[in-house]
Amino acid sequence: MTVTPLGASSPTCTGGAPLPPIHRRLPDAGVSSYLDLGWALNSKGEINETSLKNFASRSEHEAAVVAKQIVNGVYRRPASYSYFNGCSTGGRQGYAEAQDHPGDYDGILADAPGINWDEFEVATVWPQVVMNEEHTYPTKCELTLATRSAVKACDNLDGAADDTIGDPATCDYDPRRLIGTTLECEGEQVTFTTADAAVIRKIWDGPRTTSGKKLWYGPTVGADLTALADSKTDDDGTSVGAPFLVPAEWVSTFVKKQPSYDVSTAGYSEFQKLFRQSQTEFGDLIGSDDPDLSGFRKSGGKLLTWHGQADQLIPTQGTVDYRERVEKKLGGAQRVDRFYRLFLAPGVNHCAGPGNTGPAPADALGALTKWVEQGKAPQTLSASVKDASGKTVTRDLCLYPRVPQYKGDGAVADASSFRCVRPHH
């Protein structure tokens, strides 16, 4: 498994017996952990572009080349099929493979992909910027209250009360409804204020320039806000930001080239500069968002992606944005569906990690294999999750842009009680 920031990836070859263990160890893309940045800057404080290129795409390509050589050497014949499986940074690497080395894999499973890296990594420090500029740091309890209240308010929009927002784009919940609400938080009484509501509205809205122009997407309504909008209390009782380490390190080390820089101190004007600088310097190197997948289509490859609608770390809408750009580039949705399919998973957090509440795909790799080897393109992806009582809830995730809709009868926990429909927004 490739250990990389925000995820992992794994190339797989099929067509013979499993490789001996020694041959199954994969390269680590040049890093030892997701916060290993010792390679990022050279002795002059400049970006080590060779190592960044290795991390961005070259290591994954060479892993594919070496893996195929090993298979051929061991079995005296080439692998019948080759697959890539990764989530988060691993998902981004899968997209980079499809864009830059379209012949490496027959099938690529790239989930919650960290594409648009130069944009989304900076965009995810936006909650810290908002809190700093507004001098307001909602507690985790208040952030959680806002999220749960939004889910409760929009739960029934798909016709079913299942503690999940089926299509977050239809949810227009306003946290100002909570102003004046009191709650107990870590033994203290806290009152949800007008300032708290304003901060959460700005976070959901996403990054904007100082003149109000939208820069990128915010977290989906219903996603946990505590990861990106975390804060802490100093010894003197002052609240300060506590940014998520991955985007914080990207901004400080790569964009600012000052590893000691504290992103939680940035204001709106500084944020805008950082965002544009990241785009300019790193878009070509690690953006991994070139919509021209014509080479991958020509190679006969298949790209399958699912992304949780409650992803708290990588804005889901960035993946949707990329998919729509591919459609514009390559002739529309029907043509793109022939080789690239996207499924959104309501209520599912980043890579279906711990604490996940929505049904997540049970065997997406199996669905990809059937598509590649049998020509059976997936119309839905089977998904499941255990609810609080331990009961299994099933869903069939819808092929983008369709969304789930309750039929009006049948058990809410049963996938057969839902159908996929065109969105109403």
Q: How far apart are CA 196 and CA 117, in angstroms?
A: 29
What are phi and psi for residue 115, nearest 5 degrees? Answer: -75, 170
The reply to whether 294 belongs to the active site is no
**Residues 425/167, Cβ–Cβ less than 8 Å:** yes
CA distance 108 to 297: 12
Which amino acid is present at 347?
G
Identify the helix (H) or strand (E) that includes residue 341.
strand 340-345
CA distance 93 to 115: 8
3-state secondary structure of 306: strand
Which of 80, 112, 78 has its CA nearest to residue 9? 112
Give the tokens for residue 101. 């080395």
Cβ-based neighbour number of residue 260 at 10 Å: 7
Catalytic residue among 106, 162, 290, 350: 350
Active-site annotation holder among 88, 264, 278, 417? 88
| Cis preceding linkage at 27, omega within 30 | no
Q: Yes or no: say if 383 and 396 are a contact pair by the CB < 8 Å rule.
A: yes
How many residues appear in the chain? Answer: 425
Per the annotation, the verdict on 82 as an active-site residue is no
DSSP state of 288: -
Q: Which of 224, 311, 321, 396 is labelled catalytic?
A: 311
DSSP class of 88:
E
Full DSSP string of 163-231: SS-S-GGG----GGGGTT-EEEETTEEEE--HHHHHHHHHHHH--B-TTS-B-S--PPTTS--TTTS-E
Tokens encoding 54: 């290795």
CB within 8 Å of 245: residues ≥ 6 apart: 35
- Whole-number Å distance between alpha carbons of 423 and 418: 14
Handedness of CA 245, 250, 255, 258 (dihedral sign): positive
Region of 156 please: left (phi>0), alpha (psi -120 to 50) or beta: alpha
299 noted as active-site residue: no
Mapped onto helix, strand or coil, the DSSP state of residue 318 is helix
Residues catalogued as catalytic: 88, 311, 350
